[in-house]
Amino acid sequence: MDEKLTKLVEMTRTLGQPHLDYVIVGEGNTSCRADSGTFWVKASGQQMNGIGESGFVQVHAQPILQMLEQSPGDLAAQKKVMEAARVDPASKLMPSVEVSFHAMLLEECNAEYVGHTHPVAINQISCSSRAQEFAVKRMFPDQIVLCGPESVFVPYVDPGLPLALAIRERVRAYIGKYNEPPKTILLGNHGLIVIGQTPTEILNVQAMAVKSARIFMGACALGEPAFMADEDIPHIYRRPDEIYRRRQFVER
Ligand SMILES: [Zn+2]
């Protein structure tokens, strides 16, 4: 059996555990690079909790990426492209409707894994007027180390191609500013995306983002969050001991 798919299944089941409150029913989706031209992505309608290998579809990246360069037309035309991109044309499964942002993030961020969830703690903020503030500011060092110096914020856009295009524009701006891909993306009125090289990194960054959301809400309830000063953020992010520590969080 494909070792990467096995790891993706395990990561997805972990993210789907009910007690974590990251997703319910068919919410959320995950992906990982399979080889140089294809990737695995959760199939549409599958539950993350308890998902197996049969809940994933292997997809050719190129036709999906091409869709972002030139829209094939309406939703029916997009669905046809997604259907034709499957490595196994006889498969009864359809890739998640978010397959386009998965293809784009694996490519643009040179990532191995992508995890997308709708955590309650995150969405209490993403559905508020303080969503962008939460995304771009930082409150404590481990948030900087794991979630990055800031998160990309994408205001609400319809799922599918429009969302993939909106994310791409802002991810490119982030890469232009920091010269490296983001670790976390906050989707307004929607949820969280984590980008990483290993399942361990996805799970740790996801957990830290949710912890940050809880801290933000508690700090707001007590008055105003005391954000870290802008000048302290790059210095913590670049500290050699923190880089060493970060490596322990992401490797395996
Ligand atoms: Zn979603």
Domain count, the chain: 1
Q: What is the pLDDT of residues 149-200, one digit of tens each?
A: 999 999 999 999 999 999 999 999 999 999 999 999 999 999 999 999 999 9
CA of 192 to the centre of ligand 1 (A): 8
CA of 193 to the centre of ligand 1 (A): 9
User: Residue 53: what pLDDT?
Assistant: 96
CA of 135 to the centre of ligand 1 (A): 17
pLDDT band at 95 (very low <50, low <70, confident <90, very high): very high
CA of 242 to the centre of ligand 1 (A): 31
pLDDT band at 250 (very low <50, low <70, confident <90, very high): confident
pLDDT band at 244 (very low <50, low <70, confident <90, very high): confident
What is the domain range of residue 129? 3-250
pLDDT band at 217 (very low <50, low <70, confident <90, very high): very high
CA of 91 to the centre of ligand 1 (A): 23
CA of 96 to the centre of ligand 1 (A): 10
Segment among 96-110, 123-137, 224-238 with least mean pLDDT: 224-238
User: Residue 247: what pLDDT?
Assistant: 75
Residue 1 has pLDDT above 70, yes or no: no
CA of 187 to the centre of ligand 1 (A): 9
CA of 63 to the centre of ligand 1 (A): 22
CA of 43 to the centre of ligand 1 (A): 13
Mean of the per-residue pLDDT values of the chain: 95
Residue 26 has pLDDT above 80, yes or no: yes
Residue 218 has pLDDT above 90, yes or no: yes
User: Residue 5: what pLDDT?
Assistant: 96
pLDDT band at 241 (very low <50, low <70, confident <90, very high): confident
CA of 241 to the centre of ligand 1 (A): 35
CA of 191 to the centre of ligand 1 (A): 6
Higher pLDDT: 244 or 10? It is 10
CA of 18 to the centre of ligand 1 (A): 17
Can you give the pTM of this predicted structure? 0.96
User: Residue 33: what pLDDT?
Assistant: 97
Residue 147 has pLDDT above 70, yes or no: yes
CA of 196 to the centre of ligand 1 (A): 18
CATH number reported for the structural domain that contains residue 202 in this entry:
3.40.225.10
Q: State the SS3 of the chain.
A: CCHHHHHHHHHHHHHCCHHHCCCCCCCCEEEEECCCCEEEEEECCCCCCCCCHHHEEEEEHHHHHHHHHCCCCCHHHHHHHHHHCECCCCCCCCECCCHHHHHHHHHHCCCCEEEEECCHHHHHHHCCCCHHHHHHCCCCHHHHHHHCCCCEEECCCCCCHHHHHHHHHHHHHHHHHHCCCCCEEEECCCEEEEEECCHHHHHHHHHHHHHHHHHHHHHHHCCCCCCCCCCHHHHHHHCHHHHHHHHHHHCC
CA of 40 to the centre of ligand 1 (A): 17
CA of 117 to the centre of ligand 1 (A): 6
CA of 86 to the centre of ligand 1 (A): 21
